[in-house]
Structure 1
């Protein structure tokens, strides 16, 4: 008997209640759909974003390569920055390509180095300077963060949409109550004036 009571208590919204309005049923469906969209859509958005970011990072690791270059000019000394951030500056370097051609360019290098120092620069498949690609561990972490961000953004959008729909329902209820009160209110009690 106790189990039957608990089941009735859980399903109280589904029973035939004379005080239940059509708007109450609509609101229950809005909440149910909103949670389903958050659960399914949020998970899908997070997985798709994470997978896409992981593919981009993997492509960057395959198309970018490092080369040893020689610094042709001195770079200014490093300034003291809080947090130990690296100071980078454009400086002229020379390197040799795979076919033996000598090339020069100005990538970003660390500050505080003398001319003649060997530095590592990164090139893309077209031979243009680029930044070092993320390692597989860094890429996994970055993909996870991007996936989580997409999940939270999608969930926020779904919650916001649900909140707007429920707000409009509340406004409709208030307008309905106002209309009903204008009809019923004058017949209640005595007029004092």
Structure 2
């Protein structure tokens, strides 16, 4: 009965670090490149992710600070939502509202309001520095969630790019090693064949 022995995964991964006669200088270089790529990928991913998350959160906070909530009055009855809108929106509908800008002028525009609101109902809308209507800015929790998602995506992208670059370097080393083997075989192959045939 033939028995096979399993090679432990951990030993297989770190064979380039162990002393043996078959280990070539290129194997040591490749091992250092792989190890360096993993550490660099981890550092790059964490750094890029945290910087992106902090930048996005600061930008959203600055944007929110620039906007001003004002009270507006509906100038028309808000429509009832359709079945599609009920399931595919944030449960608001568009209606015309009137508000007073910071410069004292009365303005009108379309804003998202609760369905079935009637003329005269008061709603809160957001305006920019010029008094124009803008969308509702994200809350602090929403801003944190968005910044965390973008930070995680950026960190993952940076991690992947570094690992891919490290892998490309290893592939190039492998091709060079194969070319060296081919050259060595061209030199030794004929002698080996003579011995086998002789």
Q: Please report the TM-score for the alignment, with normalisation by the length of structure 1.
A: 0.79
C-alpha contact (below 8 Å) 2:80/2:93 kept by paired residues = no
Could you tell me how far 1:57 is from its partner in structure 2? 1.6
Q: Choose the corresponding residue for 1:134, options 128, 132, 138.
A: 138
Q: Which runs of 5+ in 1 are unaligned?
A: 1-9
Counterpart-to-counterpart distance in 1, 2:16 and 2:74: 77
Q: Tell me: CA distance 1:84–1:12, structure 2 relative to 1, closer, same or farther (3 Å).
A: closer
Q: Work out the number of aligned pairs and report it.
A: 182
TM-score (norm 2): 0.77
1 CA distance for matches of 2:90 and 2:143? 20
Preserved contact between residue 34 and residue 158 of structure 1 (Cα < 8 Å): yes
2:53 corresponds to 1:50: yes
CA apart distance, 1:116: 3.3
Q: 1:108 to 1:185 in 2, by over 3 A?
A: same
- Residue 160 of structure 2 corresponds to residue 156 of structure 1: yes
Q: Does 1:62 align with 2:65?
A: yes
- List alignment gaps of at least 5 residues for structure 2: 1-13
Indicate which of 94, 107, 117 corresponds to 2:121.
Answer: 117
RMSD over equivalenced CA pairs, Å: 2.8
Aligned pair in 2 of structure 1 residues 56, 116: CA closer, same or farther (>3 Å)? same
Contact 2:81 2:93 in 1 (8 A): no
Q: Cα 1:138–1:22, aligned 2, differ >3 Å: closer, same or farther?
A: same
Verify: 1:168 aligned to 2:147, yes or no.
no
Q: Are the counterparts in 1 of residues 16 and 31 from structure 2 also a CA contact under 8 Å?
A: no
Shift of 1:38: 1.5
